[in-house]
Amino acid sequence: MIFRTRVPQPVLTPFIEFLWFYQDLDVDHTKEKLLPDASMELIIDLSEGPKRLYDNRDLDRYTTYNRCWISGLQPQFIVLGVQPGSSMMGAHFRTGGAAPFFGFPLSELSGNVVELDLIWKREILALREQLLEAATPDEKFNLLETYLVAKAQARLQPDRTVSIALEMLRSWPVVPLRELASKLGLSHKQMLTRFDCRVGVTPKLASRIFRFQRALADINEAKSVPGWADLAVDCGYYDQAHLIHEFRELAGLTPAAYLRGRTDFPLYVALD
């Protein structure tokens, strides 16, 4: 199996955390949970055949996706089909980073996975053909970067207000939204509108996911079973019951179950 990542060129780094590529995927399971991290993902399938996204509540039901798709910011876990031997590449957007590449509010993508030719038409399919012909991962990365820079054109200017708000929401204790908006010179309504357009979810939901990510990081750093009550308070939850409730809502399992099944990839949980 080949797995590569690349930090994109400086003009893209405020918006895209990294580009990624894998070939001949080597896994021992066929389904996995992807846990929420307040990001969006662009995926280009470089192998043949449809890929499956399962219904969280009924794993006998699924939707298929072909060639290229965009996964909006997900408010809870999703269940992906995994195909051994497959090859894909894509871009992992920072929270709020995908806005320059789409001409509509990102809330329209949140909680959804959409085939990209419905948005970017045949140009994304033409890019996929070029990627298939490229001989090396570096050549593929160069093609994808060039395409993304051209796609955003002159819109590659971060919204400083949203960027500052996201940083403050990532910290603990979290500043109340109305106070945060006031600090940034915005009304409560203006703040919600900017998040709807640039992030895709409300500041409250973004803050919940950031808190969940803090808990995941602490669990993954633990050398043994942590004290759950202390971990809950350290991560910003009211108590252990609140921590468990949020894990069930966002991850579909308890913190203890996550700890038992954790892997080298904290956002992924194998299901079979």
Q: For position 84, what pLDDT does the model report?
A: 93
Model confidence over 168-222: pLDDT tens digits? 999 877 788 889 899 899 999 999 999 999 999 999 999 999 999 999 999 999 9
In the chain, helix, strand, coil percent, each to 5? 45, 20, 35
Pairing of strands 31-34, 40-45: unpaired
Q: For position 171, what pLDDT does the model report?
A: 86
Q: Which residue has the tokens 């308890």?
A: 254
Tens-digit pLDDT profile for the chain (272 aa)?
Answer: 999 999 999 999 999 999 999 999 999 999 999 999 999 999 999 999 999 999 999 999 999 999 999 999 999 999 999 999 999 999 999 999 999 999 899 999 999 999 999 999 999 999 999 999 999 999 999 999 999 999 998 889 889 999 999 999 998 777 888 898 998 999 999 999 999 999 999 999 999 999 999 999 999 999 899 999 999 999 999 999 999 999 999 999 999 999 998 888 899 999 97
- In this structure, are residues 79 and 52 in contact, taking their beta carbons and an 8 Å threshold? no
